[in-house]
Chain A
């Protein structure tokens, strides 16, 4: 589904991604871990097409298409969803209006008819249950005055509604208490299907107690320095990132 080869990217003068290789197949969950500043968010943003980052090398194939050639909204319409590390506030626009607009844009792009607000409410009800929210949240302005945890939960709600083919969750677990973490995890698990895939970007292995990844990759200074199965996350947790950096340093 997703094939990243030798991906390099920079912001301004600073080179952040320095040759990333990563293949994600349908049905898989990948975890991308690594210390702060290693480039995890940059990878997520580059895959979503954020204009602040310039791709300086490599290629990304998504379902056989050149992902880097697609506008951000086209990527979204093609099923790529990024749960932001820092979700953005849109004052004055209700969550319901925003989410229906997004839902309909994506439907339109796929040649489906738009849904009206009544039908959308039915759909929403089911998705709200998934994140254990009442309908009140839908009349609040998008992320405006939301707590950190509410913002993250709202990202999962959006993901549930938009049903992406490839979801990228950027530190969706950070700053969550145990209950919120459980809700986020069960949301992700409920949406898991053989034809979609998820990349979970995280600093801690905590979330991986709830969502079992197929592969774990460790990012350091803009490169994937180690990949492995789910045990790698536990090993990292136990030994810390310094262990890995020493090991990688010794090997090279």
Chain B
């Protein structure tokens, strides 16, 4: 088996190209002047600059979390990074009619056409390139339904009251080291507002692309679903192959009011570094949703195949009575990738329910940790949680770890946890090969079967993509 496992690591990352485009970048380093520069480049109001500066001053007093996550890496030198980089284009960004052809070509190559004739049917896309939004498709059509879908920068300009009301209401600027850093320097991101009673007429999606070298990406996404509203949102991400590690520290906040529902799906395919662990993205992300209202629902689905290191715990605060939180996750590590990912379900309201399904796949020398907290507070009578946490190992040099934390403070609550670890067997692979499948297709089939409960949560168009992506990530894992 082990000999056959070796080959997996030599996967080709097909999104590793660099777009040659001149950039308008901030100087290296981080201080209050840089923050002022970012804020002024974006033409922000004073309250937002103050919010950033306060976050920055808080961040200076924090220490990077190095001990509890099950990951190891050389510390980031925060003064050796650039905190702002925008493609320098002749025309202003934001309108798709006038986008630089080089940018259009980049997204075309990534499989995300932005030109009107070729738009993905039924999916509106906000395309973020380094620190700025290149443009958003189907904006007018969404506006007819009352849905606001635009870049964060535009939201600050056009809908300042909404931004001010909800920004930091789920993930405060002081939440943790990376969230504080993000609050200080965040550049762009997506903003979604679905008003009362509106079911968003199409899937919304943001495509994040890191291009510039030595640049961190710090986007911020805020999604608000008012009473009875619903929306399904998907994010995708890629970056060029580079020898240096690059930092991506995003924050996502979701707010669901009474009877609202938000479905947030991620297909994360940042560059993972080479097989020896050189280069790749540090993906240190804070994602949290708040079921503010009764009967509201927030569902996270993530397929994490990229990044050198992933550190993220998409969580739900179940505040409204009868609210529902879900977390469906597939995390794949290969080569020298490390992932420490999971969720937190915080039950505050009565009859709140949460479901966690985590599928970890480890290959090569990858290390995969599931870390999850289920917390039931005293007032959360009859709260229920079900957690299922499965690990699959491919080969002998990888690792799978599970760290479940359960804290129940109400005796009427019920919390169920199931876990399993399996090894992809030579016999399984041989069985499929004996039926005519080659090794890669065989592994891909076994792994897809293992992840089925998660994939079925993804929107149709993306489930197919995710399955393919999984195949690519594990390419060569067994030869």
Contacts and interface: CB of A to CB of B under 8 A. Distances in A.
Interface in B366-425: 425
A124 to B, nearest CB: 15
Contacts of B428: 88-90
A84 B426 contact: no
B117 interface: no
Contact of A72 (B430, B445, B451, B452): B430
Contacts of B427: 88
B40 interface: no
Interface string B444-458: 011011111100000
A90 B433 contact: no
Interface stretch (B70-78, B165-173, B220-228, B434-442): B434-442
A105 B441 contact: yes
Nearest to B442: A73
B437 A105 contact: yes
A90 B449 contact: yes
A51 B435 contact: no
A90 B446 CA distance: 6
A91 B4 contact: no
Contacts of B452: 92-93
Given A72-B430, A88-B425, A90-B432, A102 B449 contact: no
A138 to B, nearest CB: 15
Contacts of A71: 433, 438
Interface in B64-106: none
Interface residues on A, range: 20 to 34
A82 interface: yes
Contact of B431 (A75, A84, A92): A84
A76 B434 contact: yes
A87 interface: yes
Q: Which DSSP category, helix, strand, loop or mixed, fits chain B's interface? A: helix
B436 A106 contact: yes
A129 interface: no
Interface residues of B, number: 25
A143 to B, nearest CB: 9
Contact of A73 (B1, B425, B433, B449): B433
Contacts of A105: 435-438, 441
Contacts of B441: 101, 105
A106 B438 CA distance: 11
B430 A50 contact: yes
A51 B430 contact: yes
A93 B448 contact: yes
B450 A92 contact: yes
Interface in A118-147: 141-142
A87 B432 CA distance: 11
B448 A73 contact: no
Contact of A48 (B1, B426, B434, B437): B434
Chain B CB within 10 Å, residue with most, of A51, A92, A101, A158: A92
Which of B4, B425, B435, B437 is the most central at the interface, judged by chain A CB atoms within 10 Å of its CB?
A: B435
A102 B431 contact: no
B3 to A, nearest CB: 9
Interface in A52-79: 52, 71-73, 75-77
13 contacts: A72-B430, A77-B436, A84-B431, A90-B428, A90-B432, A90-B446, A91-B449, A91-B450, A92-B453, A93-B448, A101-B441, A101-B445, A105-B438
